[in-house]
Amino acid sequence: MTAPLWYKNAVFYEISVRAFKDSDGDGVGDLRGLTEKLDYLQTLGVDCIWIMPIYPSPRRDDGYDIADYYGVDPVYGSLDDLKTLIDATHQRGIRIIMDLVLNHTSDAHPWFQAARADRNSPYRDYYVWNDDDQKYAGVRIIFSDVEKSNWSWDEKAGQYFWHRFYSTQPDLNFDNPRVQEEMLNVVRFWLEMGIDGFRVDAPTYLFEREGTNCESLPETHAYLKRIRRMIDSEFPGAIMLAESNQWPRELIQYFDQGDEFHMAFNFPLMPRIFLALAQGQASSIKKILNDTPAIPANCQWTTFLRNHDELTLEMVTDEERQLMWQEYAPEPQMILNLGIRRRLAPILNNDRRKIELVNSLLFSLPGSPILYYGDEIGMGDNLNLPDRYGVRTPMQWDDSPYGGFTTGAPFTEPVQGEYGSQKGNVADQLKSPNSQLWAIRKMISLRKQYAAFGGSLEWVETGNPAVLSYMREKDGESILVLNNLSAVAQSAHISTAYQKTGRDLFSNQSAAISEQLNLDPYSYHWIKLLPSATS
């Protein structure tokens, strides 16, 4: 496990430990449960798992409100259980990263409790206080459905405190050198335990400055670079992955000269995959990738379709958002903040063709793909649950009443009906070569088998705006990818330069690339050109 650039072409898998597998029958998923399921993840072919927060927390934001940065919430197990999990993942050649929440703590954190109780406490200055709620006016509110201001009055403190997320998540004051040191120590603690890096939660908001939007400020980048320097010198090979929902030109500042983040989620691309599908047109995907500047050689994008949050639509125009709401969130309760709080399969009406097509894009476009647990088997969501909890329901392992997730009563109401565990589960799909799970597993294995998917991207003109076609290439290996984004059959016109012989990697049949290729609705092809044909 020493390859320093391992993350540049790796398949990631995001897991809610709470919802993955319960080992002791208390109805809540735990670290031992996850450890039991590592064989499944190995068969799926993932290279790195990302576990959502497991720290002690009052869970006002599912653990993104941390009350102790150095512990594991007993409901998930112990530090020893985590150590066992880390060792077991490493034994299988899989890496493991966890969430690092720098921007804010829980209001139950002892620092905040001390801060609000006493103006003279050394912890007072760990947070951002003000006598009125007018400072930093105009800064956008992220959880706009619930919060009306980024300031909340604290009776005990007799002042307002600043928070970019829920009012139960006070922002830390990174202008305080002690806060900076505290968080460096947190990073050290987990890396010493063997964690391979962090998905850094909300790194955009660390510092505040009057007259700015308080996002991606130079001070914020400087501090993030400081963490990176420490990691590089003390824990080389560990990674930082940025969760920053920004336009490409701001987003690439998180890579800077290759001395800040190793990776960043490609937030601008994600909604455009769904937009392109809704429009039956390839242009929005092409445009965003053309507008995205090159990144340093030691950096990589993380591409994704869904995650544990709403499918955020901040990075599209108002018109595009309307179209996507219409198409993918026809009922008002499906919308949250500006996004869509649904899982992949229901968003795409459980249409296997569409589900496979967007996965074809995920696994064949540049960047390291990340899967959200359960999406590989087409899990559904539970809209009866509030906020984003509807997409964090128990993993469906088999067709037993609680889907094999627990022998007790599950911590939340599982998904029923069309998407319930009777209809879709790992055990059944593993048995059936026609299942979605097999299709995804095949894509992952091809993606890993062919180095071209970690290589260059070149658009291939087809004369047809419904077809997104590109060549992936590395070290003389060339793969032509064709995706028909429309609901009707389309033909692609291929210029003579590409009219070669190849092999369709899914059917394993030889494929002659002729002047005109006919593509079924929502179909995709990955065609490896024969070596002789590329010279």
Residues at the contact surface with ligand GLC, assessed by CB under 6 A: 61, 64, 101, 165, 201-202, 243, 308-309
10 Å CB burial of residue 214 (0-12, 13-18, 19+) is buried
**C-beta of 422: minimal distance to ligand GLC in Å?**
29
314 classed as catalytic:
no
Task: Out of 65, 99, 201, 310, pick the active-site residue.
Answer: 201
Helix-helix angle 218-234:177-193, to 10 degrees: 40
Closest CA to 95 of 46, 54, 55: 46
Residue 444: CB partners within 8 Å, gap ≥ 6?
11, 44, 45, 46, 363
Tell me whether residue 105 or residue 486 sits nearer to ligand GLC (CB atom).
Answer: 105
Measured CA to CA, the distance from residue 346 to residue 329 in angstroms comes to 10
Residue nearest to ligand GLC (CB): 64
**C-beta of 267: minimal distance to ligand GLC in Å?**
11
Residue 473: CB partners within 8 Å, gap ≥ 6?
452, 455, 456, 458, 479
| Dihedral (CA of 520, 521, 526, 532) sign | positive
Tell me whether residue 90 or residue 308 sits nearer to ligand GLC (CB atom).
Answer: 308
**C-beta of 11: minimal distance to ligand GLC in Å?**
20
**C-beta of 310: minimal distance to ligand GLC in Å?**
9
| Dihedral (CA of 157, 159, 163, 166) sign | positive
User: How many CB atoms lie under 10 A from the CB of residue 497?
Assistant: 9
Tell me whether residue 205 or residue 524 sits nearer to ligand GLC (CB atom).
Answer: 205
Tell me whether residue 242 or residue 446 sits nearer to ligand GLC (CB atom).
Answer: 242
Tell me whether residue 245 or residue 253 sits nearer to ligand GLC (CB atom).
Answer: 245
Task: Out of 243, 309, 310, 473, pick the active-site residue.
Answer: 243
Residue 13: its H or E element: strand 12-15
**C-beta of 263: minimal distance to ligand GLC in Å?**
15
Report the Cα–Cα distance between both ends of the chain, in Å, rounded.
Answer: 35
Q: Could you give the angle at the alpha carbon of 440 between the alpha carbons of 436 and 444, nearest 5°?
A: 170
| Dihedral (CA of 138, 141, 147, 153) sign | negative
Structure tokens at 481: 């990818």
**C-beta of 323: minimal distance to ligand GLC in Å?**
24
201 classed as catalytic:
yes
Tell me whether residue 142 or residue 377 sits nearer to ligand GLC (CB atom).
Answer: 142
Tell me whether residue 343 or residue 525 sits nearer to ligand GLC (CB atom).
Answer: 343
**C-beta of 33: minimal distance to ligand GLC in Å?**
21
Measured CA to CA, the distance from residue 359 to residue 376 in angstroms comes to 9
Catalytic residue set: 201, 243
